[in-house]
Structure 1
Amino acid sequence: MQKTPFCLSVGQLLPYTMSDSNSTDFTNPSTFILLGIPGLEEAHVWISILFSVIYAIATLGNFTILFIVKTEPSLHAPMYYFLCMLAVTDLVLSTSILPKMLSIFWFNIREINFSACLTQMYFILSFSAMQSGVLVAMAFDRYVAICDPLRHTIILTNPVVANIGIAVVLRGAMVILPIPFLARRWPYCRTNIISHTYCEHIAVVKLACADISLSSYYSLSAAFFVIGLDVFLISVSYTQIVRAIFSLTTKDARLKTFGTCGSHICVFLSSYIPALFSFLTHRFGHNVPQHLHILMANMYLLVPPMLNPIIYGVRTQLIRDRLLQPFTHKGT
């Protein structure tokens, strides 16, 4: 008899046959079972500690950014409004996966409701798209500030910033919306076991006993439309910025101007490189161990939200000065 993947039984992973499973006749399962990181069960506790520390730093850092920008009038400018948008998307992304992950690692609570699974999938994908859109908005802000500084306040008024924010949210929400609806329509008659720590899209739809080409093609098209377009726009913006910087007459002016973009470049790299690596290994790295796929899929959702507030806190003088203000007052 042909065997399927693994089934969870009394906290252990035991092989089972289709006749042993009670999940052979459902079209939409009531629950899925998340396995965590198969192959690294012994290290689940240590991995959970690492991820918890990352999440704590990300939460503290992003809430600090939001608080500083809200309470400091000098930071009420487009650049910092976009930074607040980035902080919100980072908080939602990391919070979308970590609580359920810890319940798997710490309490062996592996079940997730079918609708909750699709909701988690939607939040992860839509806010990833929103995060990418915010990075484009930040690149546009830097382009205007450096290439057309006299018109910066005229072009990026508060209503324009608000409209950009609305456009970023609507694009992320609408482009991703078909993905969970497509995932819901497939029949899941093989198994309801997901070898992952969260409801990653491909890991879920691969369980369907149907032709999932539509889901696969749409998700791939959405990724190219969102990420591909955004990377192109960011590249164009920074090409123009670099040209403007090198047209400056003095070396000090070039370094000072480039320094204002340093934090943005670091954030772009920390956001896109892990995501790109995870995407490429998932699509083409068939010889890459499964646990490495899963670890990378978690890291690209958890590490950028931790790094972004640190990068801006260290490299942006206004934020750094506001953050250190209570300590410098105590010392004087």
Structure 2
Amino acid sequence: MLPENSAVFVTGGAGFIGSALIHYLLANTNMHIINIDKLTYAGQLTSIADAVSNPRYTFIQADICNKQILSTLFRQHQPLAVMHLAAESHVDHSIDAPAAFIQSNIVGAFTLLEATREYWRQMEENQQQNFRFLHVSTDEVFGDLGEIDQPFTENSPYHPSSPYAASKASADHLVQAWHRTYGLPTLISHSSNNYGPRQFPEKLIPLTIIRALQRQNLPIYGSGTQIRDWLHVDDHVRALWLILNHGQCGHHYAVSAQNEWCNMEIVHKVCAVLDELCPLPHDNKLGAIQRYSQLITHVSDRPGHDWRYALNAATLQQELNWQPKYDFVQGLRQTVQWYLDHRDWWQPILMRSNTAERQGLSS
């Protein structure tokens, strides 16, 4: 267990999972949080705006590929833990432009590991024993499953399909090697698909919500039968804190609520919640839609699209006594309501995206 009032580095804290983690740590611990984020297009300071006034929170805009800056930050803040979440994470982008994923997810992980190792080696022995480095990975490193295959476990072989998954798998191997070779006290977590408030609008659930509210087509890849295992982000960050404090160094932990749904079902569920919470106006004009599901359209499938992801979280449940708190139906409804209530969060993102597209800057 980390000593109270310790400093913790969170990389990528302006992202979706990172911002949820910072909210959790500030509300439930006495830790001092140093948020290190490069602020790429998906990093949103508005996601952590309420943390700024907290004396236990510090934000530093920096690139984890810059070892000199990292070394300076380690000397200044003397953390007892690193929670590494910074990563490029959008699979479509990794297919179109993989170089950024190699740089951020592989070179960034290597640079952070090296800066951490040099700092850790200079610590006193009791501090070295308390120190932890948690690398937050993904279920996608294991590839995909068939319909009757058992869910992946921590011992499943790596078989990544996309450049994104391959870059995360590479980072996992680096973390494991730094533990085995140098003794750095590392842990690795693998989570299933996350959902919840403050998720960037490029991902399936927020994309569906926002496009539906704008009466735009709701694109579904191929048949829409691809299956994902859904986990509420707040359940995920609770698991990360448990793993950091009580997990066994050198081990991997799968985090899953075991909620398997195909993409078509997810989109229909979102539309049904929107029909209830934000019903479409009655309009007798020819061609007017009456239900959000009428906006669903099928588009060409993406290359190398994994068919099914699923994780077995038995190790986390048995060793660390973790259980998900969110029922999926409840969590999805809460998520839809959050986007309805926080248009001031996502509308500026869309405006910036539209401006970039008009200027030819879109990826």
Question: Normalising by the residue count of structure 2, what TM-score does the alignment of the two structures yield?
Answer: 0.25
* Largest Rg, 1 or 2: 1
Larger relative contact order (CA 8 Å, sep ≥ 6): 1
- The structure whose residues are more often strand, as a share, is 2
Question: Normalising by the residue count of structure 1, what TM-score does the alignment of the two structures yield?
Answer: 0.27
